[in-house]
């Protein structure tokens, strides 16, 4: 199963509320992808509680690493290097994965590679699209980030635009809470919106006047809250599915418009999407259609590779590893790590 030349990365991800480990062969073949989700635990509180997340990561990290090796049918001897997310994310959560990866690297003498979480999300596209190679444009839409990025080469990025306030996923989560859907908001809005009319309510599509590729979602969130308040004051019944569908359409329209603007301006022939919100069914179909219209090949990971996982860290870690990038035992968690920084 493993040739001498094969590079097997053991990857660990713990930046938010999933404790995950994976074994990835040569950057593109996932031998195992174990995810221990804490969603049920945080649902009680309506969102991720950082301290609870850290404690749960500590409980689970060794277990997911063992399972990842077992499912991949390899032992630690077969592993070439250890990759781990070291930022951005919740500092306490990140520290658990980083400490575990450092301990494994130290105990086994294997190289350690610190990986940027967003670089991981982008690299998720390499796993199922073996032909995908840079350069391409990528829209990263997650709970913490909304970035329109040019992937110039492996590990080389140029940020065209990003959100000025809330991330797209954050807007989904906040609106879901406001309309009584609870946490995690994105998947719940996605589901409920299927029953609603996306044209029912006219919510704003924000533009940032001095930066065409930047995003802003806080105004949309406020518009939804204002709509709900005014319905309550006027005694009008709120149709949850219509609010969900109209809000979702507003987010999707903005994301598609920005991506297509960049595609046309820069002449990209390939566009990828990444991050938790990339699993949104309305976004996937609208982007697919827009790409088709503009003669652009559209790439998107399977939903399980969109939300946080360690396989994507293994893919990104592989390209860092073959470039000769190594981290020392002083690798630390960097909660605000910028894309392209080390």
Residue ranges that bind Zn ion, judged by CB under 5 A: 142, 308
Shorter beta-carbon distance to ligand KG4: residue 173 or 320:
173
Residue 184 CB contacts under 8 Å (≥ 6 apart), including other chains: 39, 43, 173, 176
- Which residues partner with 157 through β-bridges? 151
Task: Tell me whether residue 125 or residue 307 sits nearer to ligand KG4 (CB atom).
Answer: 307
Q: Which residue, 24 or 263, has its beta carbon nearer to Zn ion?
A: 24
Picked from Zn ion, ligand KG4, none, the partner binding residue 307 (CB below 5 to 8 A depending on kind) is ligand KG4
Judged by beta carbon distances under 5 to 8 A according to partner kind, the member of Zn ion, ligand KG4, none in contact with residue 277 is ligand KG4
Q: Which does 114 bind (CB under 5 to 8 A by kind): ligand KG4, Zn ion, none?
A: none
Kindly state the helix (H) or strand (E) to which residue 190 belongs, with its residue range.
Answer: helix 185-193
Of 33 and 142, the one with the shorter C-beta distance to Zn ion is 142
Q: How far is the CB of 169 from Zn ion (least distance, A)?
A: 9
- Is the sign of the CA dihedral 40, 22, 308, 164 positive or negative? positive
Question: What is the rounded distance in angstroms from the CA atom of residue 20 to the CA atom of residue 23?
Answer: 11
**What is the closest distance, in whole angstroms, from the C-beta atom of residue 220 to Zn ion in the complex?**
21
Residues 34, 42 contacting (CB under 8 angstroms): no
CB 217 to ligand KG4: min, Å: 11
Q: How far is the CB of 196 from ligand KG4 (least distance, A)?
A: 14
Six-digit token string for 149: 């990025």
Nearest distance in Å: CB 26, ligand KG4: 24
Which one, 217 or 268, has the nearer CB to ligand KG4?
217
Q: How far is the CB of 58 from ligand KG4 (least distance, A)?
A: 20
Nearest residue (CB) to Zn ion, 142 versus 327: 142
Residues that bind ligand KG4 (CB under 6 A): 16, 142-144, 169, 172-173, 184-187, 190, 275-277, 279-280, 307-308
Contact yes or no for 333/86 (Cβ under 8 A): yes
DSSP-assigned states of every residue in 90-157: -HHHHHHHHHHHHHHHHHHT--EEEEEHHHHHHHHHHHH-TT--SSEEEEEE-SS-EEEEEEEETTEE
């Amino acid at each position: 199963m493993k040739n001498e030349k094969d590079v097997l990365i053991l990857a660990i991800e713990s930046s938010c509320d999933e404790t995950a480990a994976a074994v990835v062969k040569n950057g593109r073949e996932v031998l195992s992808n174990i995810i221990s989700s804490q969603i049920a635990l945080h649902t009680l509180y309506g969102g991720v509680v950082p301290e609870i997340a850290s404690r749960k990561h500590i409980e689970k990290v060794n277990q997911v690493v063992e399972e990842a090796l077992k499912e991949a049918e390899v032992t630690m001897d077969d592993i070439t290097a250890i990759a781990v997310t070291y930022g951005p994310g919740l500092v306490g959560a990140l520290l658990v994965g980083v400490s575990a990866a450092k301990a494994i690297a130290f105990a086994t003498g294997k190289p350690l590679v610190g990986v940027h979480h967003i670089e991981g999300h982008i690299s998720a596209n390499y796993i199922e699209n073996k032909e995908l190679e840079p350069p391409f444009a990528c829209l990263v839409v997650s709970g913490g980030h909304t970035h329109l990025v040019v992937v110039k080469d492996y590990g080389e990025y140029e940020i065209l635009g990003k959100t000025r306030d809330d991330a797209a996923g954050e807007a989904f989560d906040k609106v879901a809470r406001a309309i009584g859907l609870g946490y995690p908001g994105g998947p719940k809005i996605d589901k409920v919106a299927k029953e609603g009319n996306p044209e029912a309510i006219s919510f704003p599509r924000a533009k940032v006047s001095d930066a065409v590729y930047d995003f802003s979602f806080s105004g949309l969130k406020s518009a939804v809250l204002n709509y709900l308040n005014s319905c309550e004051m006027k005694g009008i019944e709120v149709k949850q599915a219509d609010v969900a569908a109209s809000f979702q359409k507003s987010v999707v329209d903005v994301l598609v418009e920005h991506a297509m603007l960049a595609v046309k301006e820069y002449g990209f022939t390939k566009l990828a999407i990444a991050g938790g919100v990339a699993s949104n069914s309305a976004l996937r179909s609208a982007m697919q259609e827009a790409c088709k219209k503009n003669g652009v090949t559209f790439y998107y990971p399977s939903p399980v590779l969109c939300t946080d996982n360690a396989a994507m860290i293994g893919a990104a870690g592989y390209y860092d590893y073959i470039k000769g990038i190594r981290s020392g035992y002083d690798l630390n968690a960097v909660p605000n790590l910028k894309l392209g920084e080390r």
